[in-house]
Structure 1
Amino acid sequence: MEALKIGIMGTGGIASILAETMLQMPQVALMGAGSRSLEKAEEFAARFSLERAYGSYEELVKDPDIQLIYIATPHSEHYSNAKLCLENGKHVLCEKAFAANYAQAKEMTDLAREKKLLITEAMWVRYMPMAKTLKEILHSGIIGEPMTLTANLCYLISDRPRLIKPELAGGALLDVGVYTLNFASLVFGDEISDIQSSVIKTESGVDAQNSMTLCYPGGKMAILNSSLRVLSDRLGIIYGTKGYLVVENVNNFEAIRVYDAKRQLVETHLQPEQISGYEYQIEASREAIRNGWTQCPQMPHKTILAIMKVMDELRRQWGIRYPFEI
C-alpha cells in the first residue's frame, strides 16, 4: 500500500505533535494543514516544510489527493468538522472527545457507515502496545479477578480559555476525564449498572473537577477523578482477588507494575520506545482504510458511543448543558 495521504484540520498544539510524528512515518504522507486563517495555515506548513496550506476547512476537504483528515479542533467543532470531511469523501481520525454528546457521535458514525468511510476516535492509549499488554496481564490471572479500579487524571490547565468556555464544550470531563473512562472501559467493558458522581464547577459553569463511581455486573466498581485545577499522579490501579497492578500514567501507559497478595512486586512491563505515541492510531487508521473498514477494532463505534452516553449522563447529573445543546 502506498503512503496514506493525510491532512490536519487545526493548527494548535496537538496538530504540531502530530505533524512531528507523521514526518517520521514513511508509511504516511502529511500533505498539509487547514485553518480558518490562511496566515496560521501557512505558518504551520512552513514550520513543518509541508507542501500545502489551506485557508479554510472547506478548501482542505476539497483537495482530491488527501485520503484521511485528522481533526484537531475544539470539542464543540468535531461534529460539524467530521460531517464536512465525510460528505467530501474523506476518512476521519477525530481527536477526543469524539463529539460533544451521544447524539452527535451517533450521527457521525452512522454517516461514516453510510459513506463507507472510516471514522475513529484518537483515544491514543487504546491503540498503543501497552493496552494489549494490560489485557494480557489481566487475562493471565496473575492478580486474580479484577474487582475494583481507581484512576485519576488532573492537570494545571484551568488557565486555558478553551477548557472553561461552555460554548467550546469545555470542562475536565471531555478533556481529561474521558481518559479515565476509557481506562475503566478497557478493564471492565461498557456494561454499566449504576453511575454516581460529584462535581465542582468553574464560574463559567463547566466542570472544574469531578469524581465518578461506576458499577458493573458482578460487583465490580471503578472510582475515577479528573480536574483542571490540580496536578495528580496520573495512576490507574486495578485491584484483584490475588493481587493488584499499577499503571503509571493512564494518559500514556509508561509502565505496568504487578504486585502479589503480599504486596510484593512480581512483574514490571515498560512502554516500548515510541515516536510520540500518536503513531499507533495513525497506523491503525491506515490498516482500517486498507481493509475497507469504517471503524478500528481498537476503538469500535459501540465503545465510542457507550462512553459518550456515560458522559451525557454525568453532565445530566451535574446540570451542565452546552449552549448549542439548548
Structure 2
Amino acid sequence: MDKHNLTGLNEFILLGITDRPELQAPLFGLFLIIYMISVVGNLGIIILTKMESKLQTPMYFFLRHLAITDLGYSTAVGPKMLANFVVDENTISCSFCATQLVFVNMFIISEFFILSAMSYDRYVAICNPLCYTVIMSQRTCLVLVAIPYLYSTFVSLLVTIKIFNLSFCGHSVIRHFYCDILPLVSLLCSDTQEIKLVILILSVFDLISSLLIVLVSYLVIIASILRLNSAEGRHKAFSTCGCHLTVVVVFYGSLIFMYLQPKSSQSFDTDKVASIFYTLVIPMLNPLIYSLRNKNVKYALHRALEQLCNTFSRHSL
C-alpha cells in the first residue's frame, strides 16, 4: 500500500456499527434513547449531589465525578455515532478524530481511578469510621479526583500525539463507530512497535493499578464486615458498598472482556459490541444503579421532583 503523510490525510471514514440499511433506523432509535437516558441520569446525579444537603459527603462527591466522566466519554462518542446513522457517508475529520480520541481516553482513564477512590472511601468509612471525617477531608477528596484528571489528560495527549505524528496508509477506513486507539493503530504504515509498547504499558498500568486498589480495599472491607457480631450491622455495611461494587464489576468486566480476550477470538465486531457497552450502556446504567439502590439518592430525587411539581403548580394557578 502507498504511504501518505498526515498532511495529505484530511478525514477518515467510519464504518459504523452496521452496514445493513434495515437496521439503521431501529438502531438509531435505540441508541438515541440510551444516550438521552444517560445524559438525563448523569446530569441528574451531578445536580442532586451538588444541591441536596444530605448528599454533601465524600461518597457523593466521588459519585458526582463518576457521573461527570460517564457523561464525558458518552458525549464524546454518542452524538457523532447518532449523526452517522442519518448521513450517506460516515466521515470524520482528522482533527475531530484526534479530539474524540483524547476525550474518550481521558474520561475513561479518569473513571478507572475515581472508582478506585470510591473504593478507598468505602474502606475508610467501614474500617475506620471514627477517623472518617479527618481522613476523607475536603482537601483529600479534591486531590483524589485532581490527580486522575491530570494524569488521564497527560496520557491521552501523549498517545494521541504519538499516533497522529506517524504515517497512515492509503486506506483511511476506520473499522469502528468512533476513533479508538486500536483501529487507528491498524491503519499506520510507520513502525508501530514503539506506540504499541507505550499503549500496552499504559493500559496494563491503568487497569492493574486501579483494579488492585479496588480489590485490596474490598478484601479488607469484607474481612472487617465478617468480624461484626451483628447480622444487621453486616447487612448495613454490605449495603453501603452494593452500588459501587455493582458499577465496578460491570465497568471492569466489559473492559477485561474487550482487551484480554484471546487473539484467536478477537474480531472487530466483538470489539464494537464491547465498545457500545462501555461507552454508551454503562454511562446509562451507573446513574440507574445508584438512583434505584441508594436510599439517599432516591430521597433527594423524590424531594427534587416534589419541588418541581410544586413550582409548576404555582405557575399554572
TM-score (norm 2): 0.21
Name the structure where helix makes up a greater proportion of residues.
2
Question: Which structure has the larger Rg over C-alpha atoms?
Answer: 2
1 or 2 for the larger relative contact order (CA 8 Å, sep ≥6)? Answer: 2
Name the structure where strand makes up a greater proportion of residues.
1
TM-score (norm 1): 0.21
